[in-house]
Amino acid sequence: MNYTSEEANILVQALPYIQKYYGKIMVIKYGGNAMIDDTLKESVIRDVVLMHYVGMKPILIHGGGPEISAVMKKLGKEPEFVNGRRVTDAETMEIVEMVLAGKTNKGIVSIINNLGGKAVGLSGKDANLIVAEKEENEVDLGFVGQVAKINPGILTDLLEHGYIPVVSSVAIGPSGESFNVNADHIAGEIAAEVSATKLIMMTDVPGIYGNFEDKSTFISELKIADAKKMIQNKQIGKGMIPKVEACMTALAGAVERTHIIDGTMPHSLLMEIFTDTGIGTMIVP
Amino acid sequence: MNYTSEEANILVQALPYIQKYYGKIMVIKYGGNAMIDDTLKESVIRDVVLMHYVGMKPILIHGGGPEISAVMKKLGKEPEFVNGRRVTDAETMEIVEMVLAGKTNKGIVSIINNLGGKAVGLSGKDANLIVAEKEENEVDLGFVGQVAKINPGILTDLLEHGYIPVVSSVAIGPSGESFNVNADHIAGEIAAEVSATKLIMMTDVPGIYGNFEDKSTFISELKIADAKKMIQNKQIGKGMIPKVEACMTALAGAVERTHIIDGTMPHSLLMEIFTDTGIGTMIVP
Amino acid sequence: MNYTSEEANILVQALPYIQKYYGKIMVIKYGGNAMIDDTLKESVIRDVVLMHYVGMKPILIHGGGPEISAVMKKLGKEPEFVNGRRVTDAETMEIVEMVLAGKTNKGIVSIINNLGGKAVGLSGKDANLIVAEKEENEVDLGFVGQVAKINPGILTDLLEHGYIPVVSSVAIGPSGESFNVNADHIAGEIAAEVSATKLIMMTDVPGIYGNFEDKSTFISELKIADAKKMIQNKQIGKGMIPKVEACMTALAGAVERTHIIDGTMPHSLLMEIFTDTGIGTMIVP
Amino acid sequence: MNYTSEEANILVQALPYIQKYYGKIMVIKYGGNAMIDDTLKESVIRDVVLMHYVGMKPILIHGGGPEISAVMKKLGKEPEFVNGRRVTDAETMEIVEMVLAGKTNKGIVSIINNLGGKAVGLSGKDANLIVAEKEENEVDLGFVGQVAKINPGILTDLLEHGYIPVVSSVAIGPSGESFNVNADHIAGEIAAEVSATKLIMMTDVPGIYGNFEDKSTFISELKIADAKKMIQNKQIGKGMIPKVEACMTALAGAVERTHIIDGTMPHSLLMEIFTDTGIGTMIVP
Amino acid sequence: MNYTSEEANILVQALPYIQKYYGKIMVIKYGGNAMIDDTLKESVIRDVVLMHYVGMKPILIHGGGPEISAVMKKLGKEPEFVNGRRVTDAETMEIVEMVLAGKTNKGIVSIINNLGGKAVGLSGKDANLIVAEKEENEVDLGFVGQVAKINPGILTDLLEHGYIPVVSSVAIGPSGESFNVNADHIAGEIAAEVSATKLIMMTDVPGIYGNFEDKSTFISELKIADAKKMIQNKQIGKGMIPKVEACMTALAGAVERTHIIDGTMPHSLLMEIFTDTGIGTMIVP
Amino acid sequence: MNYTSEEANILVQALPYIQKYYGKIMVIKYGGNAMIDDTLKESVIRDVVLMHYVGMKPILIHGGGPEISAVMKKLGKEPEFVNGRRVTDAETMEIVEMVLAGKTNKGIVSIINNLGGKAVGLSGKDANLIVAEKEENEVDLGFVGQVAKINPGILTDLLEHGYIPVVSSVAIGPSGESFNVNADHIAGEIAAEVSATKLIMMTDVPGIYGNFEDKSTFISELKIADAKKMIQNKQIGKGMIPKVEACMTALAGAVERTHIIDGTMPHSLLMEIFTDTGIGTMIVP
């Protein structure tokens, strides 16, 4: 590219935000269409690499729903869900792990490296990063777990050497077995544990609405107490609940700001960071 | 365990070898039955963790043939081989990567961590560790590659912080695509690049024989020149050839000693290291 | 500012250049109208602060012609020039030093700090940074010197701690006396001594022309040999000669690229750095 | 010099004091005749360089009254004082800054370097070392300020690398403007901020007297409470008041000892440090 | 040695203990027959070297009773004891120091180095490691002292560089004189000061008995309170008392476990460390 | 002490020498009367502590002839010499080691620490500092050895942490036995191995004379070639020869200057260092 003077000026406008977040850890839950559409994928990841190069320390957390179901179907196994949670028997868990840690994770790593970053892919098993315990539900969901402990040492070691950690949502159980853990929850727990400055959750919608049908009810800032009421009132949809919960977990730690943004909007990540008002819905204490 | 005095004495006999290899990098190609049989698996990995704790710096390299074919068959895809090399179309490559980086690799990592080590699993994509180029063959084998470059930075960074790196034999191509590369060759290249003190190749047989049928022809030390002749004369079998080649690559680097040992013999790794005469076949310049 | 998606995209276009110059030392000769006009001044300095925050290590070198003459006149002393060089008696030298090290230098430092950088102003006396010897001319110009030695330790110590060094063109003589040294020459010498990646000389014109009257003769790349001929042929004007000489000095060291750019064009610095073709005239070996 | 045995013995007598102050920060307010008379100047500065080489960490703070007035007069501007404070309009401030940061400061730096030290000159603008706010007085004194904040990072960074920092009494205001701040006060504030072991204020008299006319009333140790009474009773003269205040500020921080000594007595600095009883007046809590 | 698979297995059994004590400081009071019998000596010291190589940080403390008396007799001086304490006049102290610091200490150092460790011998005078004061007794024992202060800096500096410190029981008094201090007590004090994980006291018996005549009364775990009663009841013999006291001192510090073991049993040190139940008597709070 | 201005001035005269030797290693062979007379002893050692505090890195090497013979006599053993070399049977070697490493060495250490330094005493056994081999002579001298190898690691580790190493002239043989090695030779070898700036040999005479009877023949500078001739001509006495040889060894390494000085003259060490002309005889290449 050859910058014009006006374009260079736009660059300069980013300076106050670059200064503000210099050296800060930013945990990004990467997901939704931004992980499916190839153009969008590269665009989001380039934003992350840019964040790294202007001095921030991004950590990417990802799950990988659609890919898992696709592989399962190829293997002649019908995905089964209870209340939106995947029933995960041993065979399914094996597929989940192969897809998340072997395909999705390394795919993201590869794009980052291709764009000039130095990424290292991790699952929750690496250096015991994410320790899980079985999630108790009315219906037995099998190897579905919840975070019991984060061992963040490998993340800080990698950040210190200039790597971008990419974490898949597979966790390790007490006796070395694998657990399928909600990636949103993992993002919240990791953000809290590494004292991230921001936790940014990517979804496929602009954020939270008082009434999703009425776009004028968009909420740009939402208190935890109000979010809880909205969940009780079923104003917040099922897919959004774990994202809101992740924000709550992060805020209960030392995380300064938590955001739910639209990953399908090009450069939404940068628009959130390099802006006073931000975009999306910010969850506040 | 409660040691008797005699047993403690056996411990003490290891001291000269512990001193000799203190702080040295040992590259181990892990494979064969030692990777399939669960008891053997845990035994070999415990040996590796012990090596770490008595001051060595082990790096594990693994492939994963049988598991790949098993998953392929489940997916209704018939594995195909030409001259013992897997024909790897795009769909196969995806399976190879999922199995190696998502299942086999994380499985080994999990066992190491369970035994008290701190392992981090890597594929050749992580931090661009293994860069491959397409291997040219008479028959097009698809995404079968050979090592073009090793970027060992992530290995030395992890070793420095006390992690045990576990590397799967998936490599990254020039435009970010995945390549299936022979794990033996990768072990040889990595050993050369990190200036390992030893390269140890695990197989399912005791080593190389002049005539495999006649156990009395076992060769405990084999010169490169002689090995080449034996390959030409077809005295060395197909499965053994890449192991011998890996040793040659390592010796052409700064690696001091290269060994082909029987991974099915309990503690063969320790028996090679903590012994003057060693076991298996040592390839020498 | 609130970025639109298009504007964020412009940011992202800078990524390849940010990566290319990450951690590299950039020596900038700051001067001309960019140092006089207040708006331009702040604009240029903000560009420098941005360079720092996206990972480069800028060093600013400045002289300060007009301000010196202004103070001299206030003190009732008429500036005198021979061949464009200031005749510098002891009293003039004192004024030169006060203005450069006490006013111009600290003024630049103050703006950088105000824009969020951490600048430290230096004269050539600080830690013996610039040692000069008397310049021999047909006419005795008094305390006009040329660089005898650069002691770059203080520059690298400051860069290592994240400071932006700002250097005024006052040098120290063998017995501690002050010398007035051409700031262009100092920039060239320092760039060579610290192995800068780029030396960028700011002027008030777009670069070098074959014939300044004919804008179509603009030269975007000029070989040293050709530059020497153009100086002999008086195609290169007096003010431009020391800039070209500085580029030659830098190239004779390990500096990769040297540029003469128009400091009066807003963001010319960024336009030079964040562009493939660059702007201005590039002097090449 | 060729030491006799007796002379070497004198050297050895300094050992207990060298041990006592090894690695300790010593803030020295340099001023008065010791800054005007050339022989005295070199003598004092040599003492400072010696302090550095025997393991102490000296920081020099200076103002520069007489030189400022001299330059002002040359510029046809009559210095004006209210209650001993210089009325400082914008033009005067510019002169103050040029003289202090450009002439006096660099002059001291140059002598230190000539004597084998490595000095770096700083004004309060460098790395925002001294932030000031306007001093409120009955009469508006213009750009006369008082210390609002010390940012000592640049001092400790320089000390760590073996440099001797030399600080001129120019401070930076909230919007980047310059302020003329009493150098005595700055010395007290810096000493407190860097947890100096000693603050030594140089004057032109031996210290504080009960009655200056009667030399027998010399006070070698003075409590803060008593000093305050003496100020109220006007027993302590105007020039001495800011020095006493600086000592109080330092003592309110973690500074161990504060001294007012006679800079015109050769080696008074060493005589204070390398002596049990010390010289001058010590202000104690 | 050439390990059999069974022998290698014994090695592997040590792994959990190696992991448990990795990087931990182990203070060992070396004494009794283990210091006299040459075979035993080498065996014990080899155990210590092994401890170092498998990641522990051993510190050896020794006295040297029999050797002292032997040298004294050669010098025609009859050793004299009061209540089991050596009467130590100036001449005796000189002999004690020569034997302990010059002969016994360097002898141990030499064996360690010969076995591949890097030992440095220290007396309490080195870097003022052990400061003593005269022990007040009914009978004046001369230069018999008790620990007044441990300066552990030299120990941690040496451990950090991979040395094994060997400390003889000579201490320095307030005016530089030598003191003979009980080595058991020194071991306890040092263990407390360096926050050792274990203190291991070597004796010539298996540990403490309720009734030494009746081997069935062996006590494998003894509370401090009970130990005190046993001392009062004279159930614990004179030689054992300082060992028990050392354990108490250590436990009063941050030491986790304290043991009294039989140094004459081959590899008793390893048997204590590499075992769940341990051997000997463990003193607990 | 209370310095007068004149006395402080003497201090300041030392500055150029302090600067010159800042951070430099100085190897001092301490011996002769300076080690016997108590006043002289303390005086010399105080000089060494001063050297440390003004930035030099002294290493002390000592033997201990008279004390050894004294102890031998007490033990009823008659010292025996052949050509000025002590016949050293096993029993004598034991005494030599006890006296040197246990008494003389720790005595010096104790005085240094008392004067405010931090000394650590070493024998050649510590960390295998001095490895010796048997010296072959016409007459078998027993355990008299010569330096085979210096392992200087422990010296540089201790210097780095601010300790003053004190080394006794006991060396370790190939199988761990002790050897009595000439302390002068050790000083020369260590100086060469640590690249000392100066080697200073202390004797009881002012230096070397052409003819010792005629004080006017004093030689202040002596070339190696001339020294060799003087040894052949027996102009240099037996006691002086190993000192001259040590200087030659040091010069053959990277040592800059070697000196033979009179340790009985108060402060001769400082007079050598803090002087242009130096004292004593300087041996030059």
Q: How confident is the model over C19-61, as pLDDT tens digits? A: 999 999 999 999 988 898 999 999 999 999 999 999 999 999 9
Residue E57 bridge partners (DSSP): E25
Where residue C85 falls among pLDDT bands split at 50, 70, 90? Answer: confident
Asked if C42 is an interface residue toward chain D (Cβ–Cβ < 8 A), one would say no
Structure tokens at E49: 């070297």
Are C101 and D97 an interchain contact pair (Cβ–Cβ within 8 Å)?
no
pLDDT at F2: 67
How confident is the model over D179-208, as a mean pLDDT? 97
The answer to whether the CB atoms of A125 and B102 lie below 8 A apart is: no
Angle (CA) D48-D49-D52 rounded to 5° is 90
Fill in the DSSP letter of residue D142.
B
Q: Are D113 and C172 in contact (CB < 8 Å)? A: yes
> What percentage of residues in chain F have a pLDDT greater than 90?
76
Can you read off the two tokens belonging to residue A75? 């293997």
Average pLDDT value for chain E:
93
Q: Which of C22, C24, C47, C50 to mutate to test the interface with A (most CBs of A within 10 A)?
A: C50
pLDDT at D185 over 90: yes
The owner of tokens 């990988």 is A64
Closest to B65 (Cα-Cα) out of B32, B88, B105: B32
CA distance A203 to A262: 5
- CA B209 to CA F211: how far, in whole Å? 80
Give the pLDDT score at D192: 98
Overall average pLDDT of the D186-213 stretch:
96
Helix axes F38-53, D5-13, angle to 10 degrees: 60
Instruction: Give dist(CA D250, CA D260) in Å, integer.
Output: 13
Name chain D's partners: 3 or more CB pairs within 8 A.
Answer: C, F
Q: Which residues of E touch B274 (CB under 8 A)?
A: 1, 3, 8, 11
DSSP single-letter state for residue B113: H
* Amino acid found at F135: E
Q: What percent of chain B has pLDDT over 90?
A: 76
Confidence band for C2, pLDDT divided at 50, 70 and 90: low
Nearest chain B CA: its distance from E50 CA (Å):
6
Are the C-beta atoms of F143 and F169 separated by less than 8 Å?
no
Q: How far apart (Å, rounded) are the C-alpha atoms in residues E103 and E107?
A: 6
B106, B118, B172: residue with CB nearest A110: B172
Asked casually if ipTM beats, i.e. exceeds, 0.85, the reply is yes
What per-residue confidence (pLDDT) applies to F216? Answer: 93
Instruction: Tell me which residue has tokens 């007489």.
Output: D66
Instruction: Give F-chain residues touching E76 at CB under 8 angstroms.
Output: 74, 76
Nearest to B267 among E12, E46, E276 (CB): E12
Q: Which amino acid is at C156?
A: T
Quickly state the pLDDT bin for B105 (edges 50, 70, 90). Answer: very high
For chain A positions 52-71, those within 8 Å of chain C (CB to CB) are 53-55
**Are the C-beta atoms of residues C208 and C221 closer than 8 Å to each other?**
no
Paired tokens of B162? 């006390």
**Inter-chain residue contact B12 with E116, CB threshold 8 Å:** no
Please check the confidence at residue B1 and state whether its pLDDT lies above 60.
no
pLDDT of residue F221: 96
Res B170: pLDDT: 97
Q: What is the pLDDT of residue E105?
A: 97
Chain A interface includes C5 (CB < 8 A): yes
CA distance C176 to chain D (A): 6
pTM of the model: 0.93
Who's near E64: CB < 8 A, 6+ residues apart?
A: E35, E99, E100, E103, E104, E168, E169
Residues of F within 8 A of D46 (CB-CB) are 12, 15
Inter-axis angle of helices B241-252 and B224-232, to 10 degrees?
A: 150
The set of chains that have 3 or more CB pairs under 8 A with A is B, C
Contact of C114 with chain A, judged by CB distance below 8 Å, is answered with no
Measured between alpha carbons, how far is residue A105 from residues A26, A109, B71, B98, F98 in Å? 18, 6, 19, 10, 67
Q: Quick one: how far is CA E90 from the chain centroid?
A: 25
Residue D2 is predicted with a pLDDT of: 67
Q: Give the per-residue pLDDT at A282.
A: 96
pLDDT at B85: 80
pLDDT band at B70 (very low <50, low <70, confident <90, very high): confident
- Residue given tokens 């002590």 in the structure block: F86
Confirm or reject contact between D2 and chain F (CB < 8 A).
yes
Q: What is the rounded distance in angstroms from the CA atom of residue F59 to the CA atom of residue C245? A: 52
What pLDDT tens digit does each residue of chain F (285 aa) get? 567 888 888 888 899 999 999 999 999 999 988 898 999 999 999 999 999 999 999 999 999 878 888 888 887 888 888 877 888 999 999 999 999 999 999 999 999 999 999 999 999 999 999 999 998 888 888 999 999 999 999 999 999 999 999 999 999 999 889 999 999 999 999 999 999 999 999 999 999 999 988 999 999 999 999 999 999 999 998 889 999 999 999 999 989 999 999 999 999 999 999 988 889 999 999
* CB pair distance less than 8 Å for C5 and A46: no
* Adjacent-strand bridge partners of B36: none
Confidence of residue B21 (pLDDT cuts 50, 70, 90): very high
Q: Of D108, D123, D117, nearest to D40 (Cα)?
A: D108
Residues of E numbered 74-103 whose beta carbons fall under 8 angstroms of chain F's beta carbons: which are they? Answer: 74-76, 94, 97-103
Of C273, C274, C58, which Cα lies nearest the Cα of C165? Answer: C58
Flag if F172 and E110 touch (Cβ within 8 Å): yes
pLDDT digits (tens, 9 = 90+) for D16-71: 999 999 999 999 999 988 898 999 999 999 999 999 999 999 999 999 878 888 88
Cα–Cα distance list, B31 to B39, B46, B61, B165, E239 (Å): 14, 15, 8, 16, 58
Cα–Cα distance for residue pair B121/B59, rounded to 1 Å: 10
Any CB–CB contact under 8 A between A163 and chain B? yes
| Residue of D126, D155, D161 for testing the chain C interface, max C β-carbons within 10 Å | D126
Which residue spans within B135-188 are E strands per DSSP? 144-150, 164-168, 170-172, 178-181
Residue in chain B nearest A176 by alpha carbon: B110
Cβ(A54)–Cβ(C18) under 8 Å? yes
pLDDT digits 0-9 by tens, E227-256: 999 999 999 988 899 999 999 999 999 899
Residue partners of D232: CB distance under 8 A and separation at least 6: none
Q: Check residue B226 and give its pLDDT.
A: 96
When mean pLDDT is compared across B276-280, E82-86, F93-97, the lowest value belongs to: E82-86
**Closest residue, chain E, to B278 (C-alpha):** E2
For F206, what's the count of Cα atoms within 13 Å in the CB-facing half-sphere? Answer: 15
How far is it, in rounded angstroms, from Cα C210 to Cα B118? 66
Contacts of A281 (CB under 8 A, 6+ apart): A207, A208, A218, A219, A220, A221, A222, A259, A260, A261
C71 vs D contacts (CB less than 8 Å): 98
- Band (pLDDT 50/70/90 cuts) for residue C1 is low
What are C90-119's pLDDT values in tens digits? 999 999 999 999 999 999 999 999 999 999
D243-270 average pLDDT score: 95
List, in order, residues 6 or more apart from C210 with CB less than 8 Å away: C217, C218, C219, C235
pLDDT score at E67: 85
The model's confidence at residue E7, banded by pLDDT at 50, 70 and 90, is: confident
Helix (H, G, I), strand (E, B) or coil at F122: strand
Report the pLDDT averaged over residues E136-158: 94
pLDDT of residue E238: 87
Beta strands A119-122 and A164-168, pairing class: parallel
Judging contacts by C-beta atoms under 8 Å, the chain B residues touching residue A71 are 98
pLDDT beyond 80 at B139: yes
Give the pLDDT confidence score for residue D59 in this predicted structure: 98
What pLDDT sits at residue C64? 85
Domains, chain F, in order of start with CATH, read 23-72+99-125+150-169+182-284 (3.40.1160.10)
Residue-level pLDDT at C67: 85
- Out of D15, D43, D268, the one facing F50 most closely (by C-beta) is D15
Residue predicted with more confidence, B85 or C284: C284
Q: What string of pLDDT tens digits covers the 285 residues of chain A?
A: 567 888 888 888 899 999 999 999 999 999 988 898 999 999 999 999 999 999 999 999 999 878 888 888 887 888 888 877 888 999 999 999 999 999 999 999 999 999 999 999 999 999 999 999 998 888 888 999 999 999 999 999 999 999 999 999 999 999 889 999 999 999 999 999 999 999 999 999 999 999 988 999 999 999 999 999 999 999 998 889 999 999 999 999 989 999 999 999 999 999 999 888 889 999 999
Neighbouring C-alpha atoms within 13 Å toward the C-beta of D256: 8
- Spatial CA neighbour of D73 closest among C150, C75, F269, B199: C75
DSSP 3-state of B196 = coil
Q: Give the residue among B216, B132, B113, B219 at the shortest CA–CA distance from B181.
A: B132
Beta pairing partners, E28? E60, E200
Higher pLDDT, D98 or C11: D98
Mean pLDDT of chain C: 93
Q: How many residues does chain D have?
A: 285
Between residues B63 and B84, the one the model is more confident about: B63
Q: Is the model's pLDDT at C269 over the cut of 60? A: yes
C122 touches chain D (CB under 8 A): yes
